[in-house]
Structure 1
Amino acid sequence: MKKNKTFIIAEAGVNHNGSFELAKKLVDKAVWAGADCIKFQTFNSKNLVSKNAQKAEYQKKTTDSSESQLDMLKKLELSKEEFVELRDYCNQKEIMFLSTPFDLESIDFLASIGVKTWKIPSGEITNYPFLRAIGKRKESVIMSTGMCTLDEVRDTIKVLKDFGTTDITLLHCTTEYPAPYDSVNLNAMLTLQNEFAFKVGYSDHTNGIEIPVAAVAMGATVIEKHFTLDKNMEGPDHKASLEPDELKQMVQSIRNVEAALGDGIKKPSEAEKKNIAIARKSIVAACEIKKGEIFTEENLTAKRPGNGISPMNWAEVLGKIAKRDFSEDELIEL
């Protein structure tokens, strides 16, 4: 079957650095790159982390190492009013608006502004109250599975299904920024598909675009990839993100792979039919053949073009009598 169009999520996340104007520019670049959706992150930092929470190592390298995770996240929040404007701006630009909630208050807020597809981040996979709240929505879920065992994915799915959610897409993911190539384990995406019979996709944190493109070739229906306006900006996720021209290249590469996958039927494509006669061979006279002579291994050969009798009919031609004269290289006729 022909592959359906991959749903490409341009993950802006917190790469707006708390600036509404930068967030709008990210929308513009996601549209320019050809993404289907742009996704932000909605959270109240006080509801997300305790004041004692430490930063991840990659966050320490890319932000002020002296501040807490709470202080860092406070600077990356957008207001509810700004999210409403962002939703409207996305509608105006004809790109789907999504935002990942990280707390119960944010789930309720996003639902109030019309969000009906829910992105569950890897870090919330073991958060029962969070999963219950999303499960009760009974809407579409895209779930990242970074850091997860198969049993943890199974438990999460059970919670969602127990509360009425059955439209689930599982994203394989490696939660490291950037993720080393040898930690990706892309075949685990197929394990998820085989184990749970849900649609699968891939949330990528590697450098470059090769791995998400490979994931599409392997059957991913959703690709999520962080992007930024400039990798050199200060902030936790910029270094592991694509810049706009790279995002555009990834989108185009994915669309090229989709086109190349085709319908799986082995037959000559329309593009190559014209080359059949040019590339294949026909049975021709290896030398002059007079009328009445018998066709033999010595006076026949196979040469291009392929618009005569196919050499696959060689045995049927041998022993037949020439009904006319044939000059060297002339197509044999019976």
Structure 2
Amino acid sequence: MSRRVLAVIPARGGSKGVPGKNLAEVAGIPLVARAVRACLAAPTVTDVVVSTDGEDIAAAATAAGATVIRRPSAISGDTASSEAAVLHALDAFEEPRSVTVDVVLLVQCTSPFLTSSDVESVAAAVAAGEADSALTVAPFHGFLWRTRDGAGHGVNHDEAVRPRRQDRPQDLLETGAAYAMDAAGFRTARHRFFGRTLPVATDPARVLEIDDPHDLARARLLAPLFDVPPARGDRSDPTLTPLEHTPAPSHRRTSPVMTANANSRLRTFGRRTAGPGRPVYVVGEIGINHNGELENALALIDAAAEAGCDAVKFQKRTPEICTPRDQWDIERDTPWGRMTYIDYRHRVEFGEEQYRAIDEHCAKRGIDWFASPWDTEAVAFLEKFDVPAHKVASASLTDDELLRALRATGRTVILSTGMSTPKQIRHAVEVLGSDNILLCHATSTYPAKAEELNLRVINTLREEYPNVPIGYSGHETGLQTTLAAVALGAAFVERHITLDRAMWGSDQAASVEPGGLTRLVRDIRTIETALGDGVKKVYESELGPMKKLRRVQGDLAGV
């Protein structure tokens, strides 16, 4: 029997720290509406109410799809507890409807990046009887201090001992975003924590509580990274598009937790889908082989489109972040004369004007483009465009900050695994989450030797990550080994491409020229056709030779 699960969002009109806070907009959406939409999208939640004493808040809550419970003035002041608001809303909801609520949620407006999966995780835990109460938490590794008698004292550690992070017990930070309680138990305890309390982990990158104007300013700056418009008609994460429901870009995906089930190994790349049973997604990696010349980049896009590639890929860096400071002033010879390394990095980096031209040219040629961002500023830059995915370069696999920023975009993330140990790969997958990624086997040598390609790792990765599609990013010379990767089941293939392998640049020698790229795509399509479906059958084309050559027919041979 289904259980009645009521989400209560307290949103009083008075706020001292941020006046009118619950109506403050983040990415054009009032905070109260963001909370309502996250609750509406949680499958276990059956009803959503907003408890308020404010007319404007009531109007915004109604517009977002919630039922409004008018909160009496006695529990609307600065000292009123959230529990009091929830208890009142619980009674006010049940009595006129003659219903009984089984699970009640307390969901706060002040967590702007709360997702429907966060709400669902606590609601489902209590609804399934796994806990009496549940709360959202985030892993926390900080050392807490408190001042007492004019001196600092460790709170969660002995200040005389400094253990490594991995040697410390895992602390959990209460996010303040969502709580779920057994309704009967909550009425008895009159507090959100009672019985068996279950902490439910959420993405620490999304944890932000708005208590003052600075928090609100941070939320507005972070929103372009964290907000992911859902596909048209999708109910899964309605916190993320403005109230007018503007059409979502075709490449955007919904919250990863809500889009892939445990058995899915398919990933969306714009209009295409990659994974088992689908055509191999072929990418021509331009990288920086354009040598900072837009004309070269457009010519490479043309070559990839004519060869039949699905996409081209670039690399995007913020030079001052990605270049070690001690290397900035080192001079080197370049085709543009002798210059410092930092000047060279700027010389080969495209800006927004060039990428607008690339975006327009790719649209004209009917081919997608995306890039490997090497820092979080590069992620924010690429988010200005409707790219189908982001890629993590092998060198960036250990950059947790970058991985969290990429996960927050909601787009498909391709993770290259060159120069990485199995332990490092597992950690990166944990940070990114497995529901929205594609893993690429790679060997990070340019060019890579055949004896170091170790293509059977494709099978190893498939066994270890059964719900993740596996691809191949090749840096070898020649085409045979890339075709072997396809035969082994690679669902995604990437090769560096160049106009001429003799051109200046560190990646040119390990790249494929236009003629080779055409042959590569042609042969990939032949191989995927030849692999078939694995079901043994007698083809119609075999009937003639069978009649001519088989002396004993099958039915006679069985007698």
Do the structures match in fold with TM over 0.5? yes
Q: After TM superposition, list the pairs within 5 Å mapping 1:46-61 onto structure 2.
A: 46-53=320-327
- Could you tell me whether the CA contact under 8 Å between 2:282 and 2:521 is conserved in 1? yes
Aligned to 2:497: 227
Secondary structure in 1 aligned to 2:471? strand
Residue identity matched to 1:273: L
Residue 110 of structure 1 pairs with residue 382 of structure 2 = yes
Aligned to 1:86: 358
Alignment CA distance shift 1:143-1:155 (3 Å): same
Alignment CA distance shift 1:256-1:47 (3 Å): same
Aligned to 1:298: none
Q: How far has the Cα of 1:136 moved from its partner? A: 1.3
Residue 241 of structure 1 pairs with residue 515 of structure 2 = no
Gaps of 5+ in 1: 55-59, 283-309, 317-334
Residue identity matched to 1:47: I
Measured in 2, the distance between the counterparts of 1:14 and 1:95 equals 19
Residue 140 of structure 1 pairs with residue 412 of structure 2 = yes
Residue identity matched to 1:104: T
Q: How far has the Cα of 1:21 moved from its partner? A: 0.8
Measured in 2, the distance between the counterparts of 1:189 and 1:156 equals 17
Measured in 2, the distance between the counterparts of 1:315 and 1:192 equals 43
Q: After TM superposition, list the pairs within 5 Å mapping 1:127-166 onto structure 2.
A: 127-161=399-433, 166=435
Structure (1/2) with the larger strand percentage: 2
Residue 176 of structure 1 pairs with residue 450 of structure 2 = no
Q: How far has the Cα of 1:40 moved from its partner? A: 1.1
Show CA shifts across 1:5-63 (max 9, x none): 00001111111110001100001000111101111111222221124349xxxxx9998
Aligned to 2:186: none
Aligned to 1:43: 317
Aligned to 1:204: 474
Measured in 2, the distance between the counterparts of 1:166 and 1:311 equals 47
Measured in 2, the distance between the counterparts of 1:151 and 1:22 equals 39
Deviates further, 222-231 or 112-121: 112-121
Q: How far has the Cα of 1:115 moved from its partner? A: 2.2
Q: How far has the Cα of 1:210 moved from its partner? A: 1.0
Secondary structure in 2 aligned to 1:5? coil
Q: How far has the Cα of 1:64 moved from its partner? A: 10
Measured in 2, the distance between the counterparts of 1:82 and 1:66 equals 24
Measured in 1, the distance between the counterparts of 2:373 and 2:507 equals 17
Measured in 2, the distance between the counterparts of 1:86 and 1:314 equals 65
Secondary structure in 1 aligned to 2:508? coil
Measured in 1, the distance between the counterparts of 2:458 and 2:344 equals 32
- Could you tell me whether the CA contact under 8 Å between 1:63 and 1:235 is conserved in 2? no
- Could you tell me whether the CA contact under 8 Å between 1:2 and 1:263 is conserved in 2? no
Measured in 2, the distance between the counterparts of 1:19 and 1:175 equals 25
- Could you tell me whether the CA contact under 8 Å between 1:3 and 1:258 is conserved in 2? no
Q: How far has the Cα of 1:269 moved from its partner? A: 2.4
TM-score, normalisation: structure 2: 0.47
Alignment CA distance shift 1:75-1:207 (3 Å): same
Aligned to 1:300: none
Measured in 2, the distance between the counterparts of 1:38 and 1:314 equals 56
Alignment CA distance shift 1:63-1:280 (3 Å): farther
Show CA shifts across 1:259-299 (max 9, x none): 100011111223333321223225xxxxxxxxxxxxxxxxx
Secondary structure in 1 aligned to 2:369? strand
Residue 273 of structure 1 pairs with residue 543 of structure 2 = yes
Q: How far has the Cα of 1:175 moved from its partner? A: 0.2
Show CA shifts across 1:147-183 (max 9, x none): 111110111111112xxx7211000000000000111
Q: Max radius of gyration: which structure? A: 1
Residue identity matched to 2:455: L
Secondary structure in 2 aligned to 1:275? helix
TM-score, normalisation: structure 1: 0.78
Secondary structure in 2 aligned to 1:99? strand
Does 1 or 2 have the higher relative contact order (CA < 8 Å, sep 6+)? 1
Show CA shifts across 1:57-85 (max 9, x none): xxx99989986654443331112110111
Alignment CA distance shift 1:250-1:69 (3 Å): farther
- Could you tell me whether the CA contact under 8 Å between 1:2 and 1:264 is conserved in 2? no
Percent identity between the two aligned chains:
34
Alignment CA distance shift 1:199-1:311 (3 Å): closer
Residue 185 of structure 1 pairs with residue 457 of structure 2 = no
Secondary structure in 1 aligned to 2:383? helix
Q: How far has the Cα of 1:132 moved from its partner? A: 1.3
- Could you tell me whether the CA contact under 8 Å between 1:43 and 1:106 is conserved in 2? yes
Secondary structure in 1 aligned to 2:409? coil
Q: After TM superposition, list the pairs within 5 Å mapping 1:247-326 onto structure 2.
A: 247-281=517-551, 310=553, 313=556
Give the counterpart of 1:122 among 394, 400, 409. 394
Q: How far has the Cα of 1:196 moved from its partner? A: 1.6
Secondary structure in 1 aligned to 2:326? coil
